[in-house]
Amino acid sequence: MKLACAALFVVLCWAYSPIGIHIGLEVYSAGQLALLRFLIASAFMAIVAMSHSVQMPKRQDLPLLFLLGFFAVALHHIALNFGQRGVSAGASSVLAQSTPIFTVIISRCVLKEAVSVWRWCCVLGGMVGAFIVVVGDKGIGAISLNGVLILLSACSWSVYFILQKRYTTRYNTLTMVCYTVWTGTAVLLIFSPGLLASMMASHVPVNFAVVLLGVFPSALAYVAWAYVLSRTEVSKVSIVLYLIPPTAILMASFILGERPSLWIVLGGGVVLLSVMSMGLENQFRRRGRDDETG
């Protein structure tokens, strides 16, 4: 029950993220919103770090930690915020779930890892679904680079995932979350000019939405997800992440009054089906090995 509640909490937090971004962009620039969001998250993670065992980083690992912060926080959220200025919250949530697709592409093109035909078919299907979402969100006559920027944010997150998986096994999950948030926030400080003036000119509901954005999707959700992953296998719980886009679409319809078009629903289904199919390949292989040994 605790694991189920934690997983549901993560889904609700990350489903709120594109909605909070949409509200914050009414007052703040894309860079200011990313900085303010992670200043709040950094402060919250500092409180968490004081009550839990967070390892001190080794000097030789500092460049890697800043690289992780750049891809997971700075580049990811700058591209996401700029992209969402012209994309609905629901469509943004769908496009953001394309991260596994870019993980496959990077693994093959950069790391020279072998990729099966099945996975290439999943990548192609995911790209087709993403195109349908971009076209169906605002109409073919209003196609812009905004959707491409959100795909860039998903690509940035996949780079972070690969780096973290390969080079940071000597730190626990909470430590990695803390230093990723802190180093990414340090990079975002380039957007600090004018932030205080924007905060003073902002409305209370907007600032409240940004505070929620900093505390829940940017901090608490990562802690809850770390708790879930520490107590079960990734393959068993990752499927709950596919609930984020439909949850975000539903929340956006109530909070923002968005009504997703049939094309967004169709394209989102294609993207999620493609991503889920990648995970099914691993399960089929594992089942085949078990049958052979059995």
Residues 137, 188, 20: CA angle, nearest 5 degrees = 40
pLDDT of 143 > 70? The answer is no
DSSP-derived letter for residue 170 is: T
Report residue 244 as tokens. 């984020």
Mean of the per-residue pLDDT values of the chain? 80
Task: Name the strand (E) or helix (H) holding 149.
Answer: helix 146-167
Tokens 């209370």 belong to 204
More confident residue, 124 or 24: 24
Report phi then psi at 215, rounded to 5: -80, -45
* Res. 191 pLDDT band, cuts 50 70 90: very high
CB atoms within 10 A of CB 52: 12
- 13, 217 Cβ separation under 8 angstroms: yes
pLDDT attached to residue 141: 43
Helix (H) or strand (E) holding 158: helix 146-167
Query: The tokens 């990695």 sit on which residue?
Result: 176
What are 50's two structure tokens?
């004081």
pLDDT digits (tens, 9 = 90+) for 222-237: 778 777 766 765 555 6
pTM above 0.75, yes or no: yes
pLDDT band at 113 (very low <50, low <70, confident <90, very high): low
Q: What pLDDT sits at residue 79?
A: 93
Do 258 and 88 touch, CB atoms closer than 8 A? yes
> Can you give the three-state secondary structure of 195-257, one letter per residue?
HHHHHHHCCHHHHHHHHHHHHHHHHHHHHHHHHHHCCCCHHHHHHHHHHHHHHHHHHHHHHCC
**pLDDT at residue 101 tops 80:** no
- Quickly state the pLDDT bin for 39 (edges 50, 70, 90): very high
Place of tokens 């920027």: 149
Mean pLDDT of 258-267: 74
